[in-house]
Amino acid sequence: LLGPEGDRSEVLDTILAARRESYAEAHATLPTDDAPPAALSQRVLEVWRRPMIAVPLGARTYAVELAAEDGLALGRTVAAHARSAVFVVSDRNVEPLWGDALRASLRANGIEAKATIAVPPGEGEKHLGTVEAVLRALVEAGADRDALVVGHGGGVVTDIAGFCAATLLRGVPWVAAPTTLLGMVDAAVGGKTGVDLGAAKNAVGAFHQPKGVVVDMSRAATESPRGFRSGLAEVVKAASIADAALFEALERQVEALRRRERTAAELAAWGALRVKAAIVGRDEHEAGERAVLNFGHTIGHALEMQGGLGRLTHGEAVALGMIAALRVGERLGVTPRGVVERVVGLLDALGLPTNLDAEDLAAALPAVAFDKKRRGGSIRFVLLRAIGATELCWVEPSALAALVSPAATA
Ligand SMILES: NC(=O)c1ccc[n+]([C@@H]2O[C@H](COP(=O)([O-])OP(=O)(O)OC[C@H]3O[C@@H](n4cnc5c(N)ncnc54)[C@H](O)[C@@H]3O)[C@@H](O)[C@H]2O)c1
Ligand SMILES: [Zn+2]
C-alpha cells in the first residue's frame, strides 16, 4: 500500500510526526504500558479532574493548571519536565513567604532544587544587571543545557526568569509559578519574557514559552491589596476584549473579588486565562490578533513609566490606559457610551483608578511616541466596539492629545 521500503519509512515518519504534533496539543499525556484497564481508567480520571487550560502551540503546547489545596501540582509539573537539575528564581519577598511551600511540592514529587536565586524585588530591578546576576548564579550553581528554571514570583520575577531561561546556553526549559494575580492571569502565560532598558519598558526580551504554568491561588493571599487589584485590571481587560459573559460574571462578583475570596478569584483568573491562552494559540508572536491584548497598554505603559517607578502599578496604569482607549473609541464613534460606562463602572467598583487627569496625560503622551508598538508614524490603539469585541485603529500622534482629553467623557 505504501510503496517501496524507502518511501514507506518516509510516509510512516510523516504520519508519526503529525501524530506527535496533534498529541502534543493534548492537555496531558499518560503512559499506558502494561497498565490494566482499571488502573488506566483511574489515571485518566485523575488527570481529567485537574483543571487545565492548554495553550495550543503544536509541539510546544503547554498546560496552565489550577493547583488544588494540596499544592502538589507545581512539583508534578516540574517533575514532568525536569531533565536533570532544577533551579528556582524568586525574589526576596516571595522566597521567605513561599519558598518552603515550593520546595515541599518539589520534594513530594521527588525533586530537590539545586539552587534558589532570590533577586531584589520590584520593577526597578527588572533590568539587564539583574539578568546578568541571575545567569552568573545559575552557571556557578552548575546549570547546563539540561537545567530547568522555575520562575517563582510576580510578573517581574517570571519576566526575568523566563528571559534567563531563554538566553542561558541559547535556551533551557522553564516552568512558571506565578505568585501574584497579575502574574497568574497575564505575565506568566504567553511566552513574552524580558526586562526594561532604562525608561523603555520591556525593551529587551525574547519569546520563550514555558513548559507549564501552575496557578496556585493560595499564593495571592499574601500579595498586597493594591497588587491584587492590579491583577484584576488585566482580568477586566481580558473580559472587555473577548468575553462578555466573563464581564457579566465579574460585575456580579464584585463584592467577593473585593474580599479576595479564593473561588471568585479563581473563576476570574480562569476566565482571563482562557481568553489569553486562545489568543496566544492563534497568534503567538503578535503578527496580528495578539495585539488586542494591548487594550489599555498604549497609554498605560507610558503612564506606568512616567513619574518614576512605583507610582502607579502596572494594573493601575492599564486601568487608566483603558479609560484613555475608551475616550478615543468614543471620540471616533467606535465605542458606544454604554460600553464606556460599564467598563468605567466595573473598574471603579473593583477599586481601580478611573480618573485620568489631564496633567498625568500630558506628561505621559510624549513617551507614547517612543512606544515600540508605534507603526509608520501613527499609534496603534485597540478600541472596544462592544463588551467582548475590539477594533484596531491608527491615530496620528498630533491628533492624540485631543482624542484622549477628558472632555470626551466628562
Ligand atoms: N510577560 C508578559 O506577558 C507580561 C504581562 C503583564 C505584565 N508583565 C510584567 O509584570 C510585571 C508586574 O507584575 P507584578 O504586578 O506581579 O509585580 P511584581 O512581580 O513586582 O510583584 C509586586 C510585589 O509583590 C511582591 N510579591 C509577589 N508575590 C507575592 C506574594 N505572593 N506575597 C507577597 N508579596 C508578593 C513582589 O516581591 C513585589 O514586591 C511588570 O514588570 C510587567 O511588565 C509581563
Ligand atoms: Zn499588562
Whether 336 lines ligand 1, by a CB cut-off of 6 Å, is no
Whether 330 lines ligand 1, by a CB cut-off of 6 Å, is no
Whether 202 lines ligand 1, by a CB cut-off of 6 Å, is yes
pTM, to two decimals? 0.90
Whether 284 lines ligand 1, by a CB cut-off of 6 Å, is no
CA 173, chain centre distance (Å) = 17
Q: What is the pLDDT along the chain (410 residues), one digit of tens a residue?
A: 344 555 666 666 777 777 666 666 676 777 777 888 898 888 888 878 788 899 999 889 999 999 999 999 999 999 999 989 999 999 999 999 999 999 999 999 999 999 999 999 999 999 999 999 999 999 999 999 999 999 999 999 999 999 999 999 999 999 999 999 999 999 999 999 999 998 788 899 999 999 999 999 999 999 999 999 999 999 999 999 999 999 999 999 999 999 999 999 999 999 999 999 999 999 999 988 999 999 999 999 889 877 665 589 999 999 999 999 999 999 999 999 999 999 999 999 999 999 998 888 888 888 786 665 556 678 889 999 999 999 999 998 888 888 988 764 44
C-alpha cell, 193: 519574557
Which positions are annotated as active-site residues? 170, 192, 234, 276, 286, 290, 294, 297, 301, 314
C-alpha cell, 267: 473563576
* 3-class secondary structure, 144: coil
Q: What spacing in Å lies between the alpha carbon of 231 and ligand 1's midpoint?
A: 9
Q: What spacing in Å lies between the alpha carbon of 127 and ligand 1's midpoint?
A: 14
For residue 156, the ligand 1 atom closest to its alpha carbon is 19
